[in-house]
Amino acid sequence: MKTFGIAILGCGTVGSGVAKILLDMPSALSDRSARPIELRKIVDLSPTKSSEKYNIPLDLYCGGGKDLTPEEASRFISEVISDETIDLVVETIGGTGDYLLSVILDALKAKKHVVTANKAMLAERGSVIFETAKENGVTLGYEASVCGAIPIIKAIRESFTGDQVQEISGIMNGTSNYILSKMELEGIDFKPALKMAQKAGYAEADPTLDISGGDAAHKLAILIRLAFGKEIEYKDLMKEGIQNIDKEDIEIANEMGCSIKLIGFAKKIDGSIFASVKPMMVRHGNLLSQVNGATNCVELINRYSGRHYFIGAGAGSLETASSIVADIVFTARYGVVVESSSGPQQLELVDADHFEFPYNITFSTEDRPGVTGLVTTAIGGQKINIDTVSHNRRNKKDAVFSVVTMPCTMHQIRDAIGSIKRGSPGLLTEEPKAIPILQ
């Protein structure tokens, strides 16, 4: 059986993990793929640094192990793409730029399978990549792009081909989950929890992509495409981060029997998809509420088989690399992998503000008689049914209380808040905070 040749483009945190696994397990991987698998070339700007992480032989690096200029790296990448002994290219460079897109497309057009962990590229520019892979009869493996070591892509693409995914909800960003877990378990506020995440290596010096919901939204966009067959524009996906969650929000959630989690949510109803990434209060009866630290967890609700949870490491060098190697082995053994279990669907992405959830709305108002009545009357005026109203948590001179609604839309809530502002100017001392409740 012909040897299946592998090249790695970009051998940093994840790429070096891929190299280590390929070098550590050659016999086992060859047995599983029913053919020899061989790592033949690596292109990286800093081979020595890359090599030292897992003791990867320098002779595998293009350029003989010396540091490369971008121009030299580009030349070696072109050589990899034209090399007939390379059957599959692993892309772990990262980014969404035009040059990297052209590298991926050129590899696919050269009839080489491509495996990538690049969620941002697939979410923002994936349409042309998937189409190019299909046109050229090669596999695009991307298990590692969503939740690291969790085999959620394989489950949807293969295990549930006899079913229909109807709803997705999940903790898809480990950094945000680590921060929220610290806030809940240690009773601290957002900023010190973020510093702890940075010190532990979970958050970057600039954590914006993680804490803003952007990273989770990349993953959700990929899952929507796969599960529902709907290409969505990443920019159109509602994203709200955890920057404004404070200790008081965590305490209110606990009083309600909930934990606050950053949730990627998507649900298909008839011809519409409702999707968002935002903090939610998750009821303690839902397993997602119990997932702490940097762990990821995705819940799928299927038409026939019901509820499923997928939980595990959502990031990390070897954790993510293991998913890449799984795609390599599967492609080496079976050839072209079916791209989608759903196929293109004529579905409309609906404004998430019009999807119904129960909400917890926290109000900070002037502390005077009749305040609760004014607020609840305005809410009822928007045809929102109220479940419960909390006790008053006086904060200095303000009255602070929460209203839990029955399922309603964010659009209705905004109209209710607007009505309060118009009818009682100055009553609200802070902008009310509305957080959806996931049952």
Every domain of the chain and the residues it spans: 4-141, 153-313+345-350, 356-438
Separation CA 49–CA 51 (nearest Å): 6
- For the entire predicted model, the pTM comes to 0.95
Mean per-residue pLDDT over the chain, rounded: 94
Confidence class for position 392, pLDDT limits 50, 70, 90: confident
Q: With a cut of 70, say whether residue 343 has pLDDT above it.
A: no
Give me the pLDDT at residue 37, please.
97
Confidence class for position 336, pLDDT limits 50, 70, 90: confident
**Known active-site residue 2:** no
Separation CA 427–CA 365 (nearest Å): 5
Per-residue pLDDT reduced to its tens digit, 208-243:
999 999 999 999 999 999 999 988 899 999 999 999
Per-residue pLDDT reduced to its tens digit, 154-198:
999 999 999 999 999 999 999 999 999 999 999 999 999 999 999
Separation CA 202–CA 210 (nearest Å): 10
Half-sphere exposure of 288 (CA within 13 A, CB side): 32
Angle at CA of residue 17, ends 15 and 21, nearest 5°: 120
Separation CA 297–CA 311 (nearest Å): 4
**Tokens standing for residue 202:** 């979970």
Separation CA 295–CA 289 (nearest Å): 12
Give me the pLDDT at residue 369, please.
87
Half-sphere exposure of 305 (CA within 13 A, CB side): 13
Q: What is the mean pLDDT of residues 332-349?
A: 72
Topology of domain 356-438, per CATH?
Alpha-Beta Plaits (3.30.70)
Per-residue pLDDT reduced to its tens digit, 395-424:
768 889 999 999 999 999 999 999 999 999
Query: Is the domain defined by 153-313+345-350 classed in CATH 3.90.550.10?
Result: no
Give me the pLDDT at residue 342, please.
52
- Pick the catalytic residue from 119, 182, 219, 230: 219
Matching fold, domains 4-141 and 356-438:
no
CB-CB contact of 12 with 44 (8 Å): yes
Q: With a cut of 90, say whether residue 305 has pLDDT above it.
A: yes
Q: Which CATH superfamily is domain 4-141 in?
A: NAD(P)-binding Rossmann-like Domain (3.40.50.720)
- What whole-number percentage of the chain has pLDDT above 90? 89
Separation CA 363–CA 290 (nearest Å): 27
Is the pLDDT higher at 174 or at 351?
174
Separation CA 353–CA 295 (nearest Å): 28
Confidence class for position 360, pLDDT limits 50, 70, 90: very high
Q: What is the mean pLDDT of residues 299-323?
A: 95
Residue where the block lists tokens 């900023």 = 191
